[in-house]
Each structure stands twice: as C-alpha cells, then as structure tokens.
C-alpha cells in the first residue's frame, strides 16, 4: 500500500495509473465539495493557500494533480541510473571564440548553493548534480547520491526529478539536510516558464525515496537550515529582471510570504551562513542586461530575515533599488568592469570573504583579459582586495576554503584543452596570510581531454571529499564525467560513468597532479 504525500490518496502498488488517477480525482472532488459547499469557487480557481510562497500542491486541477503527482508515488522508491553521467549544455550565444559558456555543467551554477553536504552523523557526503539519460543525450535529470567515507564507495545515483526534456542546467538543484537528517532537494525552475520543486527524503539520511512537497516560481535556490528555526531560502524571481527574494519555513512545508531583497534591474547572488548570520553577496545588471553584470554588494541578517544590515551594521530597508546604496562594496561599473561571483565564506572572526572573477568583456576570448581572480574581504572596518591569479574564461568557477589557518582555493585556473572555453585544468592554491598573497601549490588535473568546470565546495566539507566538479568538451557535445578531490588535491577520483554493481569505489585518477608551484 502506498500513499500520495500531497493529496493523501491511498493506493496499492499493483493499482494501474488509471485507477490511481481515478482515486485521486474522487478524493479531490470530495475535498473541494467540503471546502466549497456553496459552489462559490469559480471554475479553475485555485483553492486559497495561506502559505504565501510556493503554490500548494492541492491547488492543482483535478486532472493535473493525479496525473503529475500521484504517478510520482506509484513506485516505492525513486528510480536509479547505472552510472554518473553529467549534463552537457551550450547556451548558444556565440562570438568569435565560441559560446559564452558551454560544456559539462552538472555542478552549475555558482548560484545553486549548496550542492553537497557532509553529514558526520551519517558518515557520508550527500550531493546533487545535473545528470542525463545517456551519453550523447541532453535530457536533464536532477540526481542525488552520496560518498560513503567508511566504505569508500558510492551507490547507483537516484533520480529525484525528471525535467521531461529540459536540457538546461539552470534547472539544477540545491541540497539541504535538516536537524533530523532528512534530505531536502530544491530543484530550480527557469524564468517564469518552468516551475521549481521542493522534495523531501522519505527517511533520514536516505536517498531511496523522495516526496514532492511544494512547487512554484523559484530559480537559483539557496536553502539554509538552522537548528530550532527551520529554513531560510534565498532565491530569485523574474519579477523585474532577476530579482532577489527570501522566505522562511519552520518545517519546509509551510512557507512565509516571500519578500524582495533587491531589485535594481537584476542580480546574481551567492549566500552563506555562519551560526545565525546569513550574508548575501551580489552584483547587479544595469538595465536588466546580464552581460553588463557589475558592482559588488553585501548585506546580512542575524534574525532570519526580520532585519537586514550592511556588513558594517547599518540597518537597511529592503528592497534595495539604488545601485549606489549603502550595501555597495565597490563601483566596478565606473571602471567598466564585470563581476562574476564564485563563492562566499567567513574568516576566523566571522567576517565575510568573497571570491570573484573580474573581467572586461562578457564574450570569451582575449578581449576580456585579464580575467582576474580576487579575494574581497571585510577586515578592520573596511573592504580589502587581493589578487589571486588570472584565468581564461569568465565562468572559470572555483571554491574558497577559510576555516583553517591556511586558506585554499580549488578551481579551473589553468588553461584546458578547449583553451577559450568554460573551465580548464583544476589547481589548488593556498594562502598563509589570510588571503593577502596566494601560491599555486599543485595542478589537480593535467592533460585532460575535456575542460573541468565548476568546482563546488560541500557544506562542512570532509577532507576526503573537498571539491566536486564535472568535465566536458566546451566546443562540442561530449560525455560529461564527475570528479571529486581531497583537501590536498593529491587524491582525485572519478565517479563511475557506468556501474555494474549497486555500489562501487570511484576510480582514482592515475595521471595525478604535479607538485610544482609558482
């Protein structure tokens, strides 16, 4: 016997889809007659949902609800695939040196945060990624899996959500683990045409089965769970360009009405939490044009979004609409420079540290050089800027690690086989003076046949699973394999593209990094 988590229809696992749909229709009609005995609700009108956030699943029509929702729960478990196959994508915005971005984008974007979480209780690093149905196919599957630190193995990955023909990794997911160990997968939508979804694991620390909890307009999800408080979700809505919003929930099911944080024509943000403090770092899109992304801003809240402040403690009133507001860190627009935020972390004093690539052209190729990696840090009452290195592409995305005395960056800072394409060769950089100066310690990958891109930092990263990324040919459709490395960058492993067993060890990269530094 099974039960739909949303409409609570009971069904036998032997029931046909038609019978399940009939049962769900019957139950929905009963509920509607009880809630609307006078027949005052107009045809097609949604049942009121006081959550104020995502559309309640019981608001769907009697046809869509059983067809779309109940079919999700016909099987006892979510389907698994027989290997880790990342999604390949091309934006289709070409110029002299190729597409604006393309390649293996299973861990895209920098604005889906976090995509991996280490759980000490489970002894596993759980992670989500954008997968696909087979090599050579561009059919997005929102996948979840884990690395078992005790056994050193990974299981067959699980399909949380099938995007039904969508090939765009903007619809990738973010991941959160609540205080009871339940896994929450926040699947992104795209613009206002594709909805986002929230799924909850049926059992703690288990990827076997997920229930659909909510759906609605959500892009670039960034969920953060706080013990005894619940969730605060930072996300984007296309209400006037890509505008920033937040909402909160005590349980992941009931959400407060969303509130706008910033609306200056559009933004991309990266957020992080330290204790009760959440910081958002973002740029803005002049005139709504994402190819002109510029400036850098930061705001913080320590009371779950009730009050927002600048980093120096001045109270501000959202939504922010003035590009020269008090949250402005630096006016890059005046310098004709573009800003690509990679990561956000905290120093030992709890001050925010931002990693960003600063460029001069949205198009790939030499015209945008130098593409400079910068650390932007709040220290002693002011913002400081320290250059790390240069790379070949605006979307050479890496991650920043600041919990220890030695700060680290892992990212595709070195040219790859597709020189002007997204990504390159992964490298490990270290700073022993809190980000002021940096040194490349080693190459993590070398002699790759496909560019490596979007190195992602797990929340509470374990030393053995320190960064996760995907590879892919930036110039043409290719296979996309997924990789992870340890803290030293000396043990890099490939998740099995094809699996013959239910669980197996990842493949160790034999042509490993050199030990050269510069």
Q: With cut-offs at 50, 70 and 90, classify the pLDDT of residue 24.
A: very low
Listed residue (85, 140, 95) closest to 393, CA to CA: 95
Lowest mean pLDDT, pick from 25-34, 69-78, 221-230? 25-34
* Position with higher pLDDT, 181 vs 46: 181
Give the dihedral of Cα atoms 270, 275, 276, 278; nearest 10 deg. Answer: -10
Mean pLDDT of the chain: 88
Q: Dihedrals φ, ψ of 72, to 5°?
A: -65, -30
Q: What's the confidence (pLDDT) of residue 55?
A: 55
Q: What's the confidence (pLDDT) of residue 76?
A: 74
Listed residue (280, 283, 213) closest to 72, CA to CA: 213
Residue 510 burial (10 A CB sphere; 0-12, 13-18, 19+): exposed
Residue 19: both structure tokens together: 């019978």
Q: What's the confidence (pLDDT) of residue 19?
A: 45
Q: What's the confidence (pLDDT) of residue 168?
A: 98
Q: What is the mean pLDDT of residues 78-87?
A: 98
Write the DSSP symbol of residue 101: S
Collapsing DSSP to helix, strand or coil, 154 comes out as: strand
243-255 pLDDT tens trace: 999 999 999 999 9
Query: Do the beta carbons of residue 443 and residue 414 sit within 8 Å?
Result: yes
Lowest mean pLDDT, pick from 50-54, 328-332, 450-454, 495-499? 50-54
Q: What is the mean pLDDT of residues 118-141?
A: 97
Query: Do the beta carbons of residue 211 and residue 200 sit within 8 Å?
Result: yes
88-123 pLDDT tens trace: 999 999 999 999 999 999 999 999 999 999 999 999
| Cα–Cα distance measured from residue 156 to residue 382, given in angstroms and rounded to the nearest whole number | 48
Query: Do the beta carbons of residue 301 and residue 309 sit within 8 Å?
Result: yes
Q: What is the mean pLDDT of residues 370-389?
A: 98
308-349 pLDDT tens trace: 999 999 999 999 999 999 999 999 999 999 999 999 999 999
- Tokens 């699980």: give the residue: 158
- Given a cut of 90, is residue 471 above it in pLDDT? yes
- Given a cut of 80, is residue 46 above it in pLDDT? no
Query: Do the beta carbons of residue 213 and residue 221 sit within 8 Å?
Result: no
- Given a cut of 80, is residue 281 above it in pLDDT? yes
- Given a cut of 80, is residue 418 above it in pLDDT? yes
- Given a cut of 50, is residue 217 above it in pLDDT? yes
355-375 pLDDT tens trace: 999 999 999 999 999 999 999
Q: What's the confidence (pLDDT) of residue 473?
A: 98
255-275 pLDDT tens trace: 999 999 999 999 999 999 999
| Cα–Cα distance measured from residue 492 to residue 468, given in angstroms and rounded to the nearest whole number | 10
Q: What's the confidence (pLDDT) of residue 514?
A: 54
Q: What's the confidence (pLDDT) of residue 69?
A: 41
Q: What's the confidence (pLDDT) of residue 53?
A: 54
Q: With cut-offs at 50, 70 and 90, classify the pLDDT of residue 60.
A: very low
Listed residue (373, 266, 262) closest to 327, CA to CA: 262
- Given a cut of 60, is residue 419 above it in pLDDT? yes
- Given a cut of 90, is residue 70 above it in pLDDT? no
Q: What's the confidence (pLDDT) of residue 512?
A: 55
Write the DSSP symbol of residue 199: E
Q: What's the confidence (pLDDT) of residue 54?
A: 59
C-beta neighbour count of 38 within 10 angstroms: 5
Q: What is the pTM of this model?
A: 0.88
């Amino acid at each position: 016997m099974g039960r739909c988590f949303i409409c609570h229809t009971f069904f036998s696992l032997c029931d046909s889809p038609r019978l399940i749909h009939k049962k769900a229709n019957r139950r929905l009609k009963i509920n509607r007659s009880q809630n609307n005995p006078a027949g005052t609700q107009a045809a097609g009108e949604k049942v009121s949902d006081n959550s104020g956030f995502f559309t309640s699943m019981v608001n769907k029509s009697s046809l869509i609800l059983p067809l779309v929702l109940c079919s999700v729960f016909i099987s006892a478990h979510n389907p698994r695939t027989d290997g880790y196959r990342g999604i390949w994508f091309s934006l289709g915005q070409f110029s002299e040196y190729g597409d604006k971005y393309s390649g293996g984008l299973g861990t895209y974007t920098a604005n889906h945060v976090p995509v991996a979480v280490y759980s000490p209780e489970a002894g596993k690093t759980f992670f989500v990624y954008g997968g696909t149905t087979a090599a050579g196919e561009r059919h997005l599957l929102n996948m979840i899996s884990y690395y078992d630190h005790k056994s050193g193995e990974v299981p067959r990955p699980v399909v949380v959500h099938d995007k039904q023909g969508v090939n765009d990794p903007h619809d990738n997911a973010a991941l959160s683990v609540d205080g009871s160990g339940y896994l929450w997968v926040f699947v992104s939508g795209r613009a206002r045409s594709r909805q986002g979804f929230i799924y909850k694991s049926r059992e703690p620390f288990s990827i076997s089965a997920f229930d659909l909890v909510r759906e609605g307009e959500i892009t670039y999800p960034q969920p953060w769970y706080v013990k005894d408080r619940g969730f605060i979700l930072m996300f984007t809505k296309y209400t006037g360009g890509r505008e920033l919003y937040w909402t909160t929930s005590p349980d992941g099911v009931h959400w407060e009405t969303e509130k706008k944080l910033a609306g200056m024509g559009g933004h991309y943000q990266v957020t992080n939490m330290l204790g009760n403090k959440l910081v958002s770092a973002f740029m803005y899109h002049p005139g709504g044009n994402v190819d002109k992304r510029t400036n850098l801003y930061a705001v913080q809240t320590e009371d779950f979004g009730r009050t927002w402040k600048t980093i120096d403690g001045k109270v501000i009133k959202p939504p922010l609409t003035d590009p020269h507001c008090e949250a402005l860190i630096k006016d890059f627009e005046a310098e004709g420079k573009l800003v690509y935020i990679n990561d956000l972390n905290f120093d030992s004093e709890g001050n925010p540290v931002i990693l960003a690539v600063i460029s001069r052209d949205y198009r790939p190729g030499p015209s945008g050089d130098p593409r400079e990696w910068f650390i932007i840090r709040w220290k002693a009452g002011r913002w400081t800027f320290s250059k790390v290195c240069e790379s070949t592409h605006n979307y050479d995305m890496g991650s920043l690690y600041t919990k220890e005395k030695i700060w680290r960056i892992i990212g595709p800072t070195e040219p790859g086989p597709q020189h002007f394409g997204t990504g390159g060769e992964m490298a490990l950089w270290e700073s022993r003076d809190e980000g002021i100066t940096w040194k490349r310690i080693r190459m993590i990958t070398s002699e790759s046949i496909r560019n490596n891109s979007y190195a992602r930092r797990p929340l509470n990263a374990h030393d053995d699973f320190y960064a996760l990324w995907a590879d892919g040919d930036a110039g043409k459709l290719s296979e996309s394999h997924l990789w992870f490395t340890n803290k030293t960058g000396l043990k890099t492993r490939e998740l099995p593209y094809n699996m013959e067993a239910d669980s197996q060890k990842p493949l160790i990269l034999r042509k490993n990094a050199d030990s050269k530094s510069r």
